[in-house]
Amino acid sequence: RAVHGLRAVLAFLIGTLMREVEAAPTFSRTGDPGRLADLTASGLPAVSAAAPYLAVCDHEAEFEFGLRILLDALSEL
């Protein structure tokens, strides 16, 4: 279980770091307005409907949220 937990945390951290250095794909490189346009034009009805919420991202808050979920789950093992 410890190894699985470590791998989950490392995958989360590496994914976060890759997005920070723009080595991983993201919605769009044109900021919130560009992401909104890309998501709205996706051709996927559910994604288009959620586009105003998906286009805006507070990366620090997302990181804290994801890390808290992982740590809470690990504390239950």
Amino acid letter at 76? Answer: E
Task: Output the CA–CA distances (angstroms, integers) from residue 55 to 8, 34, 44, in the order listed.
Answer: 26, 8, 15
pLDDT, position 57: 80
b (16+ CB within 10 A) / e for 3-24: eeeeeeeeeeeeeeeebeeeee
Amino acid letter at 45? Answer: P
* Residue in the block written with tokens 């992401």: 35
Query: pLDDT 10s per residue in the chain (77 long)?
Result: 889 999 999 999 998 888 877 755 565 666 778 888 888 998 999 999 999 998 888 889 999 999 999 999 999 88
